A and B are shown apart, each in its own frame.
Chain A
């Protein structure tokens, strides 16, 4: 179905690409929701993903699944968005708004609250660390898939994940979660 619409789009059939957008936008919106909590930015990012997909449509060889190819584009677009935001210092999120210890103690944290809190927490990290943790924990992707989506080597993903977790640990401790953290690594 996707392949036929891709070929139709390449022949200039606007309806074929509209069908692709209709079919995949809920999944792409869910992915981009990891990158922003703002509705306006969310729509912008989803649009950007599909426009970039259209421009690169000739590069889709049909060997892999179209949703995976699209997800890799979404990851690139989201990562670029974070890097742009990082340059705009005004966009910092205040972690004090989130009572992380209370949220973590709940048996089943509310998804919306947990999503907001995780977004605020990861927003304190550099984009590369944030990306690897988002894909591993929020998207629940195995390392090989993270490598595929980011275009990094498997070793690089492992190294990046290790560094990101170290920074995350420091961040959790800094934000009042130290009492929840047991079996800490000995100080080096």
Chain B
């Protein structure tokens, strides 16, 4: 018997060695649920869109004012005045 045959003999016997029963379905589904991206809450979504839109308007107004006046402080004051 050479080394390959010897190892093959042990390995072929070991091939029939079955594992203990495993049932991990519940754990896997729980872990997978944590990974799955959650749907965005619609109310939170509307608020986010509204906040982004308002911020966009403020930025546009600020840039416009700054271009007209060339004075950042005055532009800021003007923007605040416009927004208020």
Complexed CA–CA distance, A133 and B12 (Å): 12
Residues of chain A lying within 8 A (CB to CB) of residue B32:
14, 17, 50-51, 54
Residues of chain B lying within 8 A (CB to CB) of residue A121:
10
Complexed CA–CA distance, A140 and B15 (Å): 8
Please choose the segment from B22-30, B41-49, B51-59, B65-73 that sits at the chain A interface, where 4 or more of its residues have CB less than 8 A away: B22-30
The number of chain A residues with a CB under 8 A from chain B is 49
Complexed CA–CA distance, A185 and B66 (Å): 87
Q: Which of B8-40 contact A (CB under 8 A)?
A: 8-20, 22-25, 27-29, 31-33, 35-36
Complexed CA–CA distance, A184 and B1 (Å): 10
Closest to A183 in B: B2
Query: What's the count of A-B pairs with C-beta under 8 Å?
Result: 115
Are B17 and A111 in touch, CB under 8 angstroms? yes
Closest to A47 in B: B24
State how many angstroms separate the Cβ of A104 from the closest Cβ of chain B: 5
Are A117 and B2 in touch, CB under 8 angstroms? no
State how many angstroms separate the Cβ of A54 from the closest Cβ of chain B: 5
Other-chain contact of A42, B1, B9, B15, B22 (Cβ < 8 Å)? B22
State how many angstroms separate the Cβ of B54 from the closest Cβ of chain A: 33
Other-chain contact of B31, A25, A39, A47, A114 (Cβ < 8 Å)? A47
A43 at the interface (CB under 8 A from B): yes
Q: Name which of A14, A100, A114 has the most chain B CB atoms within 10 A of its CB.
A: A114
State how many angstroms separate the Cβ of B40 from the closest Cβ of chain A: 14
Residues of chain B lying within 8 A (CB to CB) of residue A169:
3
Are B2 and A137 in touch, CB under 8 angstroms? no
> Which residues of B does A touch, CB under 8 Å?
1-4, 6-20, 22-25, 27-29, 31-33, 35-36
Sorted nearest first, the 6 A-B pairs with minimum C-beta distance are A115-B17, A33-B19, A114-B13, A137-B11, A111-B16, A115-B14
